[in-house]
Structure formats: structure tokens, C-alpha cells
Chain A
Amino acid sequence: MLSIFNLHVTVGDKPILNGLTLDVPAGEVHAVMGPNGAGKSTLGYALTGRPGYEATAGSASWDGEDLLALDPAERAAKGVFLSFQYPLEIPGVPAMTFIRTALNAQKRARGEAEVSAPDFLKLVRAASTRLKMNFDMLKRPLNVGFSGGEKKRMEILQMVLLEPSLLILDETDSGLDIDALRIVADGVNALRSPERSMLVITHYQRLLDYIRPDRVHVLAAGRIVASGGPELALQLEAEGYDKYAPEALQGAA
């Protein structure tokens, strides 16, 4: 279970998260929706330990493990995976080399046996076929010159191969046309399992037509201000975020 309690995060001295509390039980998919500037991406970065995103109070744990005490690579080895809104280009490092290096680094950190190159090749071939990816793309430097859709597909491929237990999807639908969105969503849905939790961060409801959440939370001004079932997403789509604007929230309080 992902358990976040009263989390405060500053970015360059500016408070962005102001007492965020949220639980995602094992096997559940929770959506975090909110207006621009609410702190959605900050939540993803804070949970994964991006330098410059400083937790000043509160806690965040995954499977009882204090995430905030670990460096980014250690968190990854504990099964935490952030799918980036804008995946980075890694010049000179072929995608396949990158993923194998990452997988084996995680396995080493967990004290597991590493995967040999031939075995890894088999895994990659199977996964890329399933995701309808051109295998030659995997020989090219990771994400360099890839289209937005190709980059997102590459994120899904990494999820499939790294088998994280906590998936954080940051605006995964941005930059995707409807066909690419379907392929990406199918990839994510295939990963749903009783042991795996997912946090789907999104501005728009559209993605949730494809990745059906168990719960929906509204993030505004750095806190969760409302929670509900999937119908909450539809309501947000219809009514917008106006009633969660900072002024409205202050008025309500």
C-alpha cells in the first residue's frame, strides 16, 4: 500500500504540496486530478526523489518502506516507477542497453540474479511485439528523435520489463493521438494485478475512459480536497475545477 500522510513539499523554497494525505491500497488504481499548478507533477517527483523537490514535513511510504529516506535508484529497486510526462532523451545509449542496465541494477540492489543478455533479448522481443513496437527502435539511443507517442510507448515497454509494483503515471495521455492512447492504455491495463498499485495523474478525464480507476482524488492548492468513485471524474469533466479554485476553497473553509 502507498501511504502518504500530511506531505509538505517545497520546490526552490516555494511550497507546492501543503499537507497531502492519500492512501492507495495494493491492487487499486487511483486517479489524481487537478487544475494546472495544483502540484500534480510535484507529487510524482516527490515520491520518486527528484533533486530539488524537498519534503519538509509528513511521510510517504510504500509497503511500509519510508520512501523519503531512500535515493531515487533505491526507490526504483523497491518497485516505484514514474512514467514521465516528458520522457528524457538519453543520447548515445541504445534503448535496449539502457533497460537491461536498469533492470540488472535493480536486481543487484534487491540481491537477485541478473538477467543475461540472451534472456533479456527474448523478454524484449516478446514485450515489443505485444506493444506493436518496431524492434529496430530499441537499438537506437533511448528516446532520441522519437515522437511523443513513441516515447510514451517506450515508457510502457520499460514498465513491462521492469515490473514495478507501484506505477505513477504523470499525464501519460499528453501528446498522444487516440490510437497511441489506446495502445498505451492497453499496456497499462495489462499490468493491473492484485499486487500492483497505480497512481494515475491527469488533468483530463479522457485517459480514465481507458484506464478505469477505483478511486478519484482532486488535488488543488497542494492538498487532496475531494475523493470519490469514478463518477467524480465525470463530474469534473462536466463542471471543471472552478469550485476547487483557491478562493472557493478558502470560502468553504
Chain B
Amino acid sequence: MTAQRLDLRDPSSFPSRRVEAWKYTDVRRLLRDTPPASPEAEVAPGGPFAALGGEELAFVNGRCEGFPGIVAKGRGEAPMRLRFVSTADGAGHQPEAAIEVTAGSRLVLLESHEGRAAGYVANTRLKISVGEGASLTRIVLGEDAADALAFVRAEVTLSPGATFEQVTATDGARLQRFETHVSHPGQGASVRMDGLYALSGERHADLTSVVTHAGLDGQTSQLVKGVVRDTARGVFQGKIVVERGADGTDARMAHNALILSERGEVDAKPELIIYADDVQCAHGNTVGTLDESALFYMQQRGLPAEEARALLTQAFLFEVVDRIEHDGAREGVREWLTARL
């Protein structure tokens, strides 16, 4: 999966669908050359999580003046809002940021990818480390432009006893991928890596993750749900690797999607690769449509068909939202999603 790392400056790195890890998200088909570099720009403070307060760091067109990297110390309640904003039509940028949560600390990171232009290309790369006994909640909102190409790759390294909770919520883009690689040491560390996508029009969203368990007694729980309409396409690639000796690993992965149109598409590739002996691992994957009998039942009680559909769809996706432990973030994502259904 690391063989091909997208770099906007090097067109030979643009993967086509012949690269296994990118077979559902063909970058080369839409991008052949390095896009013109995005200009410097500014945006007013704000973003989708503005109401939750806390410190704001904004990368605009890939730049954040004097950005020192984020080092979280202590166990403060205030979240940190990390914004990636694209404001230049047809231009490209690739911001990089390092985030460290020091041993015993706690951070709630509210990350948003905001499209304020047409046809841009954004390639965001994050290096995240969560120290011993530390905890990171990372909430990622994708609100890119419909015709944008947007890629976010996060490499997450956990120390023993660390807690990492991630939820990605997105409504897609022309081509969009959120990729997360977690190095999981076990030894009391636990990971929750959830996601949801609600796609319409011609949008495409790809949630790809690799969690590698290298130590004893690690936990991973993953729930990804999605809904596609029109000709939209959702992709889920979840891989959990349990290395030799990582006994006592408990890893569960589920992906459930609804296709609400004739021409919507969902591609799912859940993988468990287990080299250890004593593990508890499970994965499930379902792709279906709304239950017609349930819809009739709801209509019989007075709900117009559209309202019944919306209620079932919303309930389907809210299962992921309900798992967010941080109250403000949970309600923020709920509101964001409600506005998109």
C-alpha cells in the first residue's frame, strides 16, 4: 500500500487503477500533470466546527504561516480546529502537518477540508503520533467542491496504552480519498476508526485504512457506513493486519452501505490478514437498498414516501455519529450530516 505515494510534483506518482491499492480510485484518469501551484491566500476564521471554539489553525492553499506543527500537552477540554481550505480554481497544493500528542495528554482534533473554489487538487499529508497513555480524537469532515480532487493521507503511530478515535465524515468530491495508516503496538492501546459517506451527483469518496497490530492485546473497532445516490460511488478499503506474536488482538470491522439509485456504486474490500494464533477478529460487509417492507410500514403510519426514506437513511448513518464520544463533535457532525441528507 505504501509502494505508491501520491506527490503532486511528480506525475509518475499518480496512480492508475492498475495499482491495486488505487483500483477503485483512478487518479491518473483525471490528473496527468502537476497542476499549477495554488497562490497564497487568506480566509477569515470559521469553518464547520467554529461553534465549538478552541484554537484554530488554518492551512489556506496548502500554507499555514509559521506553522510549527501541533504538540498537544495536558488534558485540556478545548478542541483544536485544524482547517485545510482550498480557494484557487484549478490549482494544486499539498500541505503537510505533524501532530504529536505527548504521553498522558489528550487532544480533540477537529479537522476540516473545505472547498472554496472549483477544480482544485489538494493532497494533504499528516504525521500523527500518540504517546503512551495519551488519547487523540480526530474528527475529519470532508466538504470539498464537487469537481475537486482531494486526497488526505494520515500516518498514525500509537504508543502502548494510547487511545485513538477517528471518525471521517464526507460528502465526496470528483475524486476524494481519505487514507489512514495506523501502527498499533497493542499493550493496552485501542483504536476506533469509523467513517461515513453520503454521496450524490457524480461524487466519489474513498475511505481506505490499514491498521497493523504488532503487539499483544491490541483492540481495533471499525464501523463505516455510507449512502450513495445518483451516479455517486463509494469505496471502502479496510485492512487489518495482525502480525506474528500479536496475540490477544481483538479486531472488528464492519462496512454497511445503501445504494439509493439505479446507477450508484459501492466497492468494498475488507481484509483481515492474520499471522498470530490467539486472536479475535471479525469483519462484515453489506451493500443493499432500503427495506421496501419497512418503507411501506412507515407510509402506512402516515409518513410520505420521501420522509420515510429520509428517516431510514438518516437513522442508518446516525449509528456512526452516535459512536462519537465528544459531545460537541458528535452534535456538530450530526448537524453537518443532517444538512446533507
User: Which residues from chain A sit less than 8 Å from chain B, CB to CB?
Assistant: 48-51, 71-73, 75-77, 81-82, 84, 87-93, 98-99, 101-103, 105-106, 109, 141, 158, 162
Q: 13 additional contacts, CB 8 Å, given A72-B305, A101-B307, A101-B311?
A: A49-B299, A50-B296, A51-B292, A51-B296, A71-B304, A73-B303, A73-B305, A90-B312, A90-B315, A98-B298, A98-B311, A99-B301, A109-B304
User: Are B305 and A71 touching (Cβ within 8 A)?
Assistant: yes
Q: How far is the CB of B324 from chain A (nearest CB, A)?
A: 15
Among B299, B304, B315, contact of A93 (Cβ-Cβ < 8 Å):
B315
Tell which of B294, B299, B314, B316 touches A76, judged by Cβ atoms closer than 8 Å: B299
CB pair A93 B303 closer than 8 Å: no
The distance from the CB of A209 to the nearest CB of chain B, in whole angstroms, is 28
> Is B297's CB within 8 Å of the partner chain A?
yes
**Could you mark each residue 277-303 of chain B with 1 if its beta carbon is under 8 Å from any beta carbon of chain A, else 0?**
000000000000001111011111111
Give CA–CA (A106, B112) in the complex, Å: 39
8 sample A-B contacts, Cβ–Cβ < 8 Å, listed by A number: A49-B299, A71-B305, A88-B291, A91-B316, A92-B312, A93-B312, A102-B303, A162-B302
Q: Are A102 and B298 in contact (CB under 8 A)?
A: yes
B: number of interface residues (CB 8 Å)? 23
Report chain A residues within 8 Å CB of B302. 73, 76-77, 102-103, 105-106, 109, 162
Shortest CB-to-CB span from B253 to chain A, Å, is 20
With A50-B296, A84-B297 as known contacts, state yes or no: A105 contacts B303, CB within 8 Å.
yes
User: Across the interface, do B318 and A92 meet the contact criterion of CB distance under 8 Å?
Assistant: yes
A203 to B: closest C-beta gap in Å:
21
B331 within 8 A of A: no
What are the 4 closest A-B residue pairs judged by CB atoms, nearest first?
Answer: A92-B315, A106-B302, A72-B299, A76-B302
B319 within 8 A of A: yes
- Chain A residues within an 8 Å CB radius of B293: 88
**Residues on A with beta carbons closer than 8 Å to the beta carbon of B296:** 50-51, 72
Question: Once the chains bind, are B319 and A90 in contact (CB under 8 Å)?
Answer: no
The answer to whether B312 and A88 have CB atoms under 8 Å apart is: no
Q: What chain B residues lie within 8 Å of A98 (beta carbons)?
A: 298, 301, 311
Q: Is the CB of B319 within 8 A of A92?
A: yes
In the complex, residue of chain B having the shortest beta-carbon distance to the beta carbon of A80: B300
Inter-chain contacts of A73 with B (CB < 8 A): 299-300, 302-305, 308
Q: Are B304 and A105 in contact (CB under 8 A)?
A: yes
Known A87-B297, A90-B312, A93-B312: A101·B303 in contact at CB below 8 Å: yes
**Chain B contacts for A90, CB-based, 8 A:** 294, 297-298, 312, 315
Which of A51, A92, A162 has a CB less than 8 Å from the CB of B301? A162
Please indicate which of the listed interface residues A76, A158, A162 has the most CB atoms of chain B within 10 Å of its own CB: A76
Q: Is the CB of A105 within 8 A of B315?
A: no
CB distance from B181 to the nearest CB of A (A): 31
